[in-house]
Amino acid sequence: MNSNDGGAELRLVVPGDQIDAPPGTQPGSGVCKRGDSLVATKLGELKIGGDVAHVVPTFTKYLPRSGDLVIGYVEAVMNNLWFLDVGGPFNALLPMSLAPWKVEFGAAREHMGYGDAVLARVMEVDETHSVVATMKGVGLRKIKEGVIFEMPPHLMGLVIGSKGRTLQRLKAASDCRIINTQNGRILIDGNSKGIAIARKALQMIEETGHAPGLHSRLNSILGDDE
Amino acid sequence: MMGGYGDIKLLNDDGTRLDGRAVDEMRSVEIKAGVLPVADGSAWVKHGLNVAVAAVYGPMEAHPRKIQRQDRAVIDVRYNMAPFSTSDRIRPGFNRRSREISKVTAEALESVVLVERYPRSKIRVEIEILAAEAGTRCVGITAASVALADAGIPMRDMIVGVASGKIEGVVVLDLDKAEDNYGQADLPMGILPNTGEMAFLQMDGDLSIEEYNLACEYNYKAASEIHELMKQALLDSASRGDA
């Protein structure tokens, strides 16, 4: 499966495949060095752009990175902190000092309980993948209304689209507020008709997003692009 | 049962085996990736009459916490034979044999998975043997390897499970049930096809150095054939995602 994308070479590779790249090419994500040669470590599309070779995986789990906007669910409440499920290997820690409210010690449960959804930002990820999240920041809050759609994180690029056009179309056609986060959870807030349209479009992207003709399929759901 | 039964003939007069295969011929192999929608990665492997399904979940938080490693992920393998996988019903649940195979499979997989990328976490690999006809540990390793790749777990190479053995003094590739039960030796291996490294080796019975070398040669040849099928299964699965 070879195709071209703006001069970058595209090819499907599996772990262990040797990558034919010009000398001096550096290993990017999904690629490692074996002796002098480069080797794919993930199943996905190989992209060689500039002097870096990387593999865009066909499937990957969310790995938190500092600065990521995420939607998390409260998994556990302690006296002075919450544990958030952000879809990664580990729960993120949200200390009461980083909550948007003045929280007394022992009163964390009064503000958020098990199952509550929050819009937060990953503040810190250490080398053992411990994650600290914060709710201090513009727009970060406890989610009280709307629908959360779960999308595999590696497909978020398709939801956003080139220069954000797909997301803009989705917002315009559904007349909903749509907040996409790096951990693949998308908050859709609006009237029920708009939410249904947005969900239908997102479901289509999830199932057949990689196939050619995404634009025309989106047109059939969202109406023609102006 | 290794050691041979003098009165059981495992080779025909023309040198072929009871099922008509040549000594260096493998049973037919079929592989599919991405067969279980709920798992992060999965694979189905049919090798001769063996059928194995592998599912991979994770990386996830390792529980109980005492199994966590601060510098790497642990691979938690559970190999299990279904009660209906053989003609004699197998009592469900873990037994000594499944514990041993789970352990050696986990160690083999740890040598290819980049476990240092996921400190403190766990990658859960479930291998279920639906039908067994000798060589299930090798089929399980092959299935687990494809399922790991399908789950997007970074690996420095795939790993292929293959076995050779000895029947009536002749080294043969890929033992079937009768050959496994009444043959003289069995040599299952986990081979990294791109680097040629060996991640797993067990030997049951006796082989001379020459016989061992020949068995290795057969195993490496079979591994490269199976590797092509593994790659094709993964590429088909990735393309299905595109379709």
- Measured between CA atoms, the residue of chain B closest to residue A127 is B119
Q: Is A208 within 8 Å of chain B by CB?
A: yes
Tell me the nearest-neighbour CA distance from B203 into chain A, angstroms.
27
Q: In this structure, what token pair is assigned to residue B187?
A: 């040599």
> Whole-prediction pTM value?
0.86
Cβ proximity of B10 and B16 under 8 Å: no
pLDDT for the residue numbered A66: 93
Q: Which residues of A touch B155 (CB under 8 A)?
A: 15-16, 41-42
Edge-first strand order for the sheet with A44-49 is: A3-5, A8-13, A44-49, A52-57, A26-27
Which SS3 state, helix, strand or coil, does residue B146 take?
helix
Alpha-helical runs (H) found in A69-213: 108-111, 156-160, 165-174, 192-208
- For chain B, which domains are there? 29-242 (3.30.230.70)
Compute the distance between CA of residue A52 and CA of residue A72 in angstroms, rounded to an integer.
33
Q: Which of A18, A57, A89 shows the shortest C-beta gap to B121?
A: A89
Query: Which CATH code for domain A147-222?
Result: 3.30.1370.10
For A9-39, write each residue's pLDDT tens digit. Answer: 568 899 999 998 888 899 998 999 988 899 9
Tell me the nearest-neighbour CA distance from B122 into chain A, angstroms.
8
Measured CB to CB, residues of chain B less than 8 Å from chain A are 40-41, 58-61, 70, 112, 114, 118-121, 149-158, 192-195, 230-231, 234-235, 237-239, 241-243
Q: In the Cβ-directed half-sphere of A180, how many Cα atoms lie within 13 Å?
A: 22
Q: Which of A14, A60, A210 shows the shortest C-beta gap to B158?
A: A14
Q: In this structure, what token pair is assigned to residue B18?
A: 């009871």
Q: Which of B152, B158, B243 shows the shortest C-beta gap to A59?
A: B152
Compute the distance between CA of residue B95 and CA of residue B93 in angstroms, rounded to an integer.
7
Flag whether pLDDT at A1 surpasses 50: no
Tell me the nearest-neighbour CA distance from B1 into chain A, angstroms.
37
Cβ proximity of A83 and A74 under 8 Å: yes
Q: Where exactly are the structural domains of chain A?
A: 3-57, 69-143, 147-222
For A100-146, write each residue's pLDDT tens digit. Answer: 988 888 888 889 999 999 999 999 998 777 899 999 999 999 999 99
Bridge partner list, B29: B47
Q: Is A155 within 8 Å of chain B by CB?
A: no
Q: Is A10 within 8 Å of chain B by CB?
A: no
Please state, for a pLDDT cut of 70, what percent of chain A lies above it.
Answer: 94
pLDDT for the residue numbered B6: 57
Which positions ≥6 away from A107 have C-beta within 8 Å? none
What separation in angstroms does the CA of A130 have from each of A124, B58, B135? 8, 16, 41
Q: Is A1 within 8 Å of chain B by CB?
A: yes
Q: In the Cβ-directed half-sphere of B14, how many Cα atoms lie within 13 Å?
A: 6
Query: Nearest Cα to A56, choosing from A48, A67, A66?
Result: A48
pLDDT for the residue numbered B241: 59
Q: Are A43 and B150 within 8 A, CB to CB?
A: yes
Flag whether pLDDT at A90 surpasses 90: no
Q: Which of A30, A210, A211 shows the shortest C-beta gap to B154?
A: A30
pLDDT for the residue numbered A2: 40
Compute the distance between CA of residue A151 and CA of residue B68 in angstroms, rounded to an integer.
29
Mutation for A interface: B36, B146, B159, B242, most A CBs within 10 A: B242
pLDDT for the residue numbered B5: 55
Helix, strand, coil distribution of chain B in percent, nearest 5? 30, 30, 40
Compute the distance between CA of residue B232 and CA of residue B227 in angstroms, rounded to an integer.
9
Q: Are A14 and B120 within 8 A, CB to CB?
A: no
The enclosing H or E element of B218 equals: helix B209-242
Least confident segment among A154-163, A174-183, A209-218, B94-103: A209-218
Domains A3-57 and A69-143 alike in fold = yes
Q: Which CATH architecture has domain A3-57?
A: Beta Barrel (2.40)
Flag whether pLDDT at A224 surpasses 80: no
- Going A36 to A47 to A13 to A70, the CA torsion angle's sign is positive
Each of the 243 residues of chain B gets a pLDDT tens digit; together they read 454 455 678 898 898 999 999 999 999 999 999 999 899 999 999 999 999 999 999 898 888 889 999 899 999 999 999 999 999 999 998 899 999 999 999 999 999 999 998 888 999 999 999 999 999 999 999 999 999 999 999 999 999 999 999 999 999 999 999 999 999 999 999 999 999 999 999 999 999 999 999 999 999 999 999 999 999 999 998 877 543
Q: Which residues of A touch B152 (CB under 8 A)?
A: 42-44, 57-61, 154
Query: Nearest Cα to B125, choosing from B159, B90, B85, B91?
Result: B159
Q: Which residues of B touch A83 (CB under 8 A)?
A: none
Q: Are A129 and B120 within 8 A, CB to CB?
A: yes
Compute the distance between CA of residue B121 and CA of residue B72 in angstroms, rounded to an integer.
7
For A35-59, write each residue's pLDDT tens digit. Answer: 889 999 999 989 888 889 989 888 8
Q: Which CATH architecture has domain A69-143?
A: Beta Barrel (2.40)
Which positions ≥6 away from B188 have C-beta within 8 Å? B135, B137, B138, B161, B162, B163, B200, B201, B202
What separation in angstroms does the CA of B143 have from each of B43, B47, B54, B66, B177? 5, 10, 6, 28, 20
Which SS3 state, helix, strand or coil, does residue A79 take?
coil
Cβ proximity of A1 and B235 under 8 Å: yes
Average pLDDT value for chain A: 88
